[in-house]
């Protein structure tokens, strides 16, 4: 299975903070925002990952992840010159996907919950697609899903004025090898984009779209605004200080998966030893946390 992180866009709701830096490179407490979706993909067991971003921002991602092979993963890069919709990421990544199942995750989405990666891995069954559902108080701000007790999707709406449910669709999507073919058949929306909801509806109409409601202990943040970015940072700060664990750490995920050795984790901790992040890595390695 392949993984794609879509880290493009203009981040217009974060301006002026986003004038010269990609939103997904902004810090969420002690690490870049993009670390969180990357760690989610890794927790699912995905080691072959494509990052899609703008022409201006791609060099920054290449610099940030120039040594990512040490984590036991391989990161490739592709360009999205102008915003063309979330589903366009699949067309951009066509050769990378190479007719294999793929997980598309948005670079500004933060997920956290014990056992989340395992839950998602076990829920995706081919053929078909899998989306997640998260209960929210303000569904009009999100894509909204309605589903039955068997987890079969019965309706999908994009930011509806009168939502049929309070279940939002977070930015992580699992697709089988037919995703590219389906995306090519989608008509661009009035804003000229390939909408992810239209791709999901393609699976729904074929009765091949399943949904899993994220468990109560799972937290999800869509960090598209200053307030949501701050709330995510405060959540990470509070939980890391209380538990002494690291949320969204590629080093920790790789070590727990057995992709890197104790020695490698020790060396990675040493590289950031003057930071709180490095201190936590050493604590985790020593077994004190």
Cis peptide leading into 127, omega within 30 of 0? yes
Residue 23 lies in a domain: yes
Mean pLDDT of the chain: 95
Residue 202: both structure tokens together: 């393609």
- Which pTM does this prediction carry? 0.96
Average pLDDT over residues 50-79: 97
Residue 223 lies in a domain: yes
Range of the domain at 145: 2-227+247-259
* CA 89 vs CA 20, 105, 160: distances in Å: 23, 10, 24
> Which residues make beta-bridge pairs with 74?
48
Residue 128 lies in a domain: yes
Strand runs (DSSP E) across 117-223, as ranges?
Answer: 129-135, 143-147, 153-158, 167-168, 172-175, 209-213, 219-222
Residue 54, CA atoms < 13 Å, CB-side half-sphere: 15
pLDDT in tens, 49-58: 999 999 999 9
Ramachandran angles phi, psi of 44, nearest 5°: -80, -15
Number of domains in the chain: 1
* pLDDT at residue 9, rounded to an integer: 84
For residue 54, what is the domain's CATH number? Answer: 3.90.550.10
Determine the Cα–Cα distance for residues 122 and 69; give it in Å rounded to an integer: 26
Residue 13: both structure tokens together: 């709701």
Residue 119 lies in a domain: yes
Residue 241 lies in a domain: no
| pLDDT higher than 90, residue 11 | no
Residue 71 lies in a domain: yes
pLDDT exceeding 90 applies to what percent of the chain?
90
């Amino acid at each position: 299975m392949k993984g794609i992180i879509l880290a493009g866009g203009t981040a217009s709701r974060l301006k002026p903070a986003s004038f010269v830096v990609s939103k997904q490179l902004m810090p969420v407490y002690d690490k870049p925002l993009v670390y969180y979706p990357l760690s989610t993909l890794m927790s699912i067991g995905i080691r072959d990952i494509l990052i899609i971003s703008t022409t201006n921002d791609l060099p920054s991602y290449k610099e940030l992840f120039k040594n990512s092979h040490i984590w036991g993963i391989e990161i490739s890069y592709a360009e999205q010159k102008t915003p063309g919709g979330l589903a366009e990421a699949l067309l951009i990544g066509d050769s990378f996907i190479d007719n294999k199942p793929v997980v598309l995750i948005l670079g500004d989405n933060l997920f956290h919950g014990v056992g989340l990666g395992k839950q998602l891995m076990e829920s995706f069954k081919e053929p078909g697609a899998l989306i997640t559902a998260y209960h929210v108080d303000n569904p009009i701000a999100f894509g909204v899903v309605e589903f039955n007790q068997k987890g079969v999707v019965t309706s999908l709406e994009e930011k509806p004025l009168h939502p049929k449910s309070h279940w939002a669709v977070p930015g992580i999507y699992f697709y089988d090898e037919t995703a590219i073919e389906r995306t090519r058949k989608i008509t661009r929306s009035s804003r000229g984009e390939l909408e992810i909801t239209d791709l999901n509806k393609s699976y729904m109409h074929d009765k091949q779209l399943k949904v899993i409601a994220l468990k109560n202990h799972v937290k999800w943040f869509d960090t598209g605004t200053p307030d949501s970015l701050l709330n995510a940072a405060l959540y990470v700060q509070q939980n890391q200080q209380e538990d002494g664990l690291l949320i969204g750490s590629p080093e920790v995920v790789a070590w727990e998966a057995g992709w890197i050795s104790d020695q490698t984790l020790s060396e990675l901790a040493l590289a950031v030893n003057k930071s709180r992040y490095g201190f936590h890595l050493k604590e985790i390695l020593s077994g004190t946390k």
